[in-house]
Amino acid sequence: MLKNKKVLITGADGFIGSHLTERLVREGAIVKALSQYNSFNSWGWLEDVDCKDDIEVLSGDVRDSAYMKHITKNIDIIFHLAALIAIPYSYIAPESYVDTNIKGALNVCQGALDNGVEKVIITSTSEVYGTAKYVPIDEKHEKQPQSPYSATKIGADAIAKSYYNAFNLPVVIARPFNTYGPRQSARAVIPTIITQIASGKKEIKLGDTTPTRDFNYVKDTCSGFVALANCDRAVGEEINIGSNFEISIGDTLNLIKKLMNSDVEFTVDKQRLRPKNSEVNRLWCDNTKIKSMTDFEPQYDIERGLKETIDWFCDENNLKKYKADIYNV
């Protein structure tokens, strides 16, 4: 259904966005990929995609309403992924998260409304749920803003839902759980572990290893986006994308150690710890809704996904792009 559709992807220069760009090109979509404007003319991870000749790269900023109105003209489907996502940075720069995450979603929705876009996929996050009150977490679970980041994503989801209710804008709120894979930022726990081991460290610096997560390989997350874009029943709905599998950070560390034949030791780095009431202690996705509405079915278990991720990070051409010695908030 996406073949020959005119698609705009915001945040296409990021981790998930670059993989989704490749996937949509394979689906036959006509892709415009938005990269955040910068004076270096860098396209982020779009520099590494295998379809650079098949996409139109735009440089701009979702915070600018006039620009968003301009680039949403003659677009059939928008995948809105542009956001600030680093939770620790949201503690020290919360206003920037409001500007990018909430106003960005507003500008995307208004541009889509003004230009008659057929469907808008808004990217949410499992962080909006906070620590699980019950598991697995379905879409009826209450929202808990345990960080400025999660608060702004709750706000962005609400803005999008309001445009559906008030203006009948065809919005789908896609809510991925913890995505990992090649190109992910080193601020995330899995790349943190892999890059430190691959760089020859004998001690791994991490924060709290007791929280659990529902990790999803990036190709499965992209399959979820495609499935929702092809599902008319998804319009107006909030829908989880996840594996329905829970694993602790500590067990993930030990699995990576095993796969990399490493004997590294773990040490607590206090600057990586979240404030007490901000840590999300448990996330476990109930993916019943997306599976009942679409043909979505995760293809990667945690071990297979980690193997592919490790192989990518251990390529010296990829590893050199990361600074394993520096904690990146």
- How far, rounded to the nearest angstrom, does the alpha carbon of residue 273 sit from its chain's CA centroid? 21
Q: What is the pLDDT of residues 219-267, one digit of tens each?
A: 999 999 999 999 999 999 999 999 999 999 999 999 999 999 999 988 8
For residue 239 the two structure tokens come to: 């829908």
Q: What is the pLDDT of residues 177-222, one digit of tens each?
A: 999 999 999 889 999 999 999 999 888 878 788 999 999 999 999 9
Question: CA-CA distance, 2 to 189, in Å (whole number)?
Answer: 33
- The answer to whether residue 328 scores a pLDDT higher than 90 is no
Question: CA-CA distance, 17 to 23, in Å (whole number)?
Answer: 10
Cis before 136? omega within 30:
yes
Question: CA-CA distance, 109 to 163, in Å (whole number)?
Answer: 7
Residue 205 is predicted with a pLDDT of 78
Taking a C-beta distance cutoff of 8 angstroms, is the pair 44, 58 a contact?
A: no
CATH number of 6-129+142-179+216-241: 3.40.50.720
- In one-letter notation, the amino acid at residue 187 is R
Angle of helix 302-314 versus helix 249-259 axis, rounded to 10? 60
Residue 186 is predicted with a pLDDT of 86
DSSP label at 76?
A: S
Mean pLDDT of 121-139: 98
Taking a C-beta distance cutoff of 8 angstroms, is the pair 77, 13 a contact?
A: no
Reported confidence tier of residue 324, pLDDT bands at 50, 70, 90: confident
Those residues with Cβ within 8 angstroms of residue 16's Cβ, 6 or more apart along the chain or in another chain: 81, 123, 176, 179, 218, 221, 222
What is the pTM assigned to this prediction?
Answer: 0.96
Residue 17 is predicted with a pLDDT of 98
Residue 263 is predicted with a pLDDT of 92
- The answer to whether residue 32 scores a pLDDT higher than 80 is yes
Domains 6-129+142-179+216-241 and 181-213+245-319 belong to one CATH topology: no
Percent of the chain at pLDDT above 70?
A: 99
User: Domain boundaries in the chain?
Assistant: 6-129+142-179+216-241, 181-213+245-319
What architecture is domain 181-213+245-319?
Alpha-Beta Complex (3.90)
DSSP label at 123?
A: E
Query: Is the Cα dihedral 85, 86, 90, 91 positive or negative?
Result: positive
Q: What is the pLDDT of residues 39-81, one digit of tens each?
A: 999 999 999 999 999 999 999 999 999 999 999 999 999 999 9
Question: CA-CA distance, 18 to 297, in Å (whole number)?
Answer: 21
Residue 329 is predicted with a pLDDT of 63
Nearest to 238 by CA among 172, 297, 188, 304: 172
Residue 327 is predicted with a pLDDT of 65
